[in-house]
Structure 1
Amino acid sequence: MTLEICANSVESAIAAQRGGANRIELCANLAEGGTTPSYGQIKWCLENLTLEVWPLIRPRGGDFFYSTAEFENILADISYCKQIGCKGIVTGLLNKNGTIDEERCAKIIAVASPMPVAFHRAFDMSSNLENSLETIIKLGFVRILTSGGKENAFIGAKKLKELVIQAGNRIEIMPGAGISADNLLEIAQTTGARNFHTAAKSIVASKMQFRNEASKMGGANADEFSYEQTDADKVKALKNILNQL
């Protein structure tokens, strides 16, 4: 049983390791579903942590249909991750009609090789999950992060079970989205999956003493004096559940 933590910062990555996670999907901007972390974050995690580091390669939020410039950006980020020694990377591309972008995904696999590549929840936004699964297997991805095409993995558990059965031993199906200590056991038992993905995060209050409440760095309702960060205790609780299965 493998626990992957979606770590949105180096401090989240530290907490993931402290809690006993097997792997991190290192990213930025969780509010947008995750985007590519900085080179500095990737380098720091590789040099200071012992768990597997798989950066998310996603140049922006929104959909998964990318321009030529964005795709060039993706390939450059993948080349850096390969050069610096990442265990693998996580990405995914779609065509306008919701099918997997086979041509560009094949290019990604080639550029990354021999570094393995996982397909993220762009899969959930594809037009046919069963067909997309077969395409992703054919392309050579090693894992798919998915909620079963639903809002979260708990709601999508039935579909996840079907995907696990369809995949067999050809690729790893990893449930993710909304997984917590309250539902992990049921999701694991229902789906038959052996890899699980979650942020295991809590809200951290700012340690700033001086606070300018009039200025905003984000949206009008943004709280500038708190942020989300992986919680080591939540990671431990999740890992303990998996260790009992």
Structure 2
Amino acid sequence: MIAEVVVENAMEVRETQHAGITSLLLVRNLKEGGISPDLKTIGLCTDAARIPMSILVRPDIDNYFYEEGRRRRTLKILELYWNHGIRNITFGALHNTVMDWDLLEDAITHGFSVNINQAFDQTQDLVKNYLQLALYPMVRQVVTRGQAETAVAGESQIQQLVQLDKPSLPVVADSTGLTSDNLKPFLERSGVQGIQFGAGSRDRNGKINFSQLEGAVNVLRRHAKSKQAGENSPSRFRF
């Protein structure tokens, strides 16, 4: 199971990765929706990270529809990051009702490994866009709430994506709306391959709620073990 936490600085990286997390997403201004972090912060966080970390590529906190000016700024960020040794990014842009395939392919052509953020939820047809994304080997995961305010409300859409059975492209649910009470049944019903813990896992002051986070990670671990045990158990019937 993927357990990814959105972080903003090196201190959060050091504190978070000891909670059983499998990956990190580094952003700036998470409270406002998240934008690309500066190179100094990236350097400090990279030095502190002992688990995989992806860097957000987003020029501003405006929507995910990128007109020409924002496209140029995005390409400059990609060039800057690549020249400084960054290879794993989180990204999402839209063109009309679908993903911006040209901009995505620009990122892939640079050589980046790409995680897709919640721009995905603003496409018109999640299934169509997911199946198209699954054709790109360098696209590694998709984060979604199933086009709803919370992953719980969008569970049926999320379940539909999981049932497409594309193991090369894990479906990761955003943690908004997930609690200690509903996380386990949500995992069992939806079948998602992971959870991303973002703004919904922070307190009113914007600090990561480590008690809540560690509890959720323990649920994910138990679920993964239970799932693995079920897959490895011998069938009752032999043919």
- Normalized against structure 2, the TM-score is what? 0.84
1:86 CA displacement: 4.2
Take 1:11 and 1:190, find their aligned partners in 2: how far apart are those partners? 35
Which of 118, 122, 129 pairs up with 2:119? 122
Counterpart contact for 1:90–1:120, Cα < 8 Å:
yes
Map of 1:68-217 to 2, 5 A cutoff?
68-86=68-86, 88-95=88-95, 97-111=96-110, 113=111, 115-140=112-137, 141-178=139-176, 179-199=178-198, 200-203=201-204
CA-to-partner distance for each residue in 1:169-191, whole Å, 9 max, x for gaps? 23111111413433321221111
2:221 is aligned to 243
- Mean Cα deviation higher: 136-145 or 47-56: 136-145
1:61 CA displacement: 1.6
Identity %: 20
Segments of structure 1 that go 5 or more residues without pairing to the other structure are 204-226
Q: Match for 1:192: what amino acid?
A: G
1:54 CA displacement: 0.6
1:85 CA displacement: 4.3
CA-to-partner distance for each residue in 1:178-205, whole Å, 9 max, x for gaps? 13433321221111112111122223xx
Instruction: Quote the RMSD (CA, aligned, Å).
Output: 1.9
2:11 is aligned to 11
- Mean Cα deviation higher: 70-79 or 16-25: 70-79
Structure scoring higher RCO (CA < 8 A, sep ≥ 6) equals 1
1:228 is aligned to 206
Take 1:10 and 1:169, find their aligned partners in 2: how far apart are those partners? 32
Segments of structure 2 that go 5 or more residues without pairing to the other structure are 224-239
Residues 170 and 52 of structure 1, relative CA distance in 2, 3 Å threshold: closer
Take 2:66 and 2:28, find their aligned partners in 1: how far apart are those partners? 19
Q: List structure 1 runs of 4+ shifted beyond 6 angstroms.
A: none
Q: Match for 1:107: what amino acid?
A: D
- Mean Cα deviation higher: 102-111 or 73-82: 73-82
Take 2:42 and 2:180, find their aligned partners in 1: how far apart are those partners? 28
- Normalized against structure 1, the TM-score is what? 0.82
Take 2:26 and 2:160, find their aligned partners in 1: how far apart are those partners? 28
Q: Match for 2:188: what amino acid?
A: Q
Take 1:41 and 1:202, find their aligned partners in 2: how far apart are those partners? 22
Matched residues, number: 219
Q: Match for 1:136: what amino acid?
A: L
Q: Match for 1:169: what amino acid?
A: P
Residues 232 and 15 of structure 1, relative CA distance in 2, 3 Å threshold: farther
